[in-house]
Amino acid sequence: MNNVQFYSFALSPYALKVHCYLLALDIDFETIFVDAMKMRKILPVGKTVPVLTINNESRNESSEIGLWLHELYPEKHLAPPELITKIQIAEKWVNEQLINLAFRDTVGFDDPIIRKYKKRLHLSKVLGETSPDGVSIIFRLFHMIFLEKTFVRNNIAMTDTSRRLGDLRIELAIEFRELLEGGPFLCGSKSPTIADLSAYPQIVKPKAIDGLDYFLPGDTVATWVSNVEKAYPKLLDCFPEGIKYSQSPL
């Protein structure tokens, strides 16, 4: 039996991807939420999450981890060889388009100031509740005020900040429909692949955490979410229980 340890940071989009891979595999693994101030000391490799360690071997890049897991558990068909090129294209779209725009929404870049800081207050609460020893009030305050000036500024800068978030979300929904290629899952696949598992938490996060609409609009997206959840009913477990909307609405 493999010894699997998953180092995570609550609501990190890249960590959420890997968490969904692991849930889909239906294997035993230990989730370790790391202290934001001590990550470099705690992580077995790299400087930030996600990190996955299996039998003392560690990887720390989410897309690479997905392919690694497919190699270790090929019977789960997370990356069928005939679809690997398409999956890599879809993965790139998730990383460079979907996640970057989701970062912009998460920090409230386009929101009125009250809504912006309500979102950040929620994020700082999540940070405090999932860090092993909590975080100080001072850190939470600075996290709220200066969040968009941290590493996420690069993700936000990769979006077209001159355009409305709502318009960009509609465009991404159209691109998403094209990536489905008429199939129930991305890349025209008949079953979910790592591409679907990467996109899923980014799209459902606003609803799972805040009770809002899915991040991408439209019936096509809603049908795809339903298909993914029927295939893997436990995927919402990628969000810690205490921060789901049903328990901690804004």
Count of residues in the chain = 250
d(CA 42, CA 176): 37
pLDDT at position 250 is 38
Query: 30 pairs with which residues across the strands?
Result: 5
d(CA 140, CA 128): 8
Global pTM reads 0.93
d(CA 147, CA 129): 18
Largest Cα span, the chain: 51
d(CA 16, CA 205): 10
**pLDDT tens per residue, range 85-112:** 999 999 999 999 999 999 999 999 999 9
pLDDT at position 246 is 56
> In the predicted model, what is the mean pLDDT of residues 219-241?
96
pLDDT at position 162 is 97
d(CA 195, CA 88): 8
pLDDT at position 249 is 39
For residues 62 and 134, the model is more confident at 62
Question: How many Å from the N-terminal Cα to the C-terminal Cα in the chain?
Answer: 41
List the strands of the sheet with 51-54, edge to edge: 30-33, 4-8, 51-54, 57-59
Nearest CA to 205 among 247, 244, 164, 154?
A: 244
Weakest-pLDDT range from 11-20, 149-158, 159-168: 149-158
Sequence-distant (6+) residues with CB within 8 A of 143 are 120, 123, 124, 127, 135
Cα dist. 158→5, 84, 171 in Å? 32, 26, 15
For residues 208 and 131, the model is more confident at 208
> What average pLDDT does the structure give for the chain?
92
**pLDDT tens per residue, range 34-83:** 987 788 889 999 989 999 999 999 999 999 999 999 999 999 999 999 99
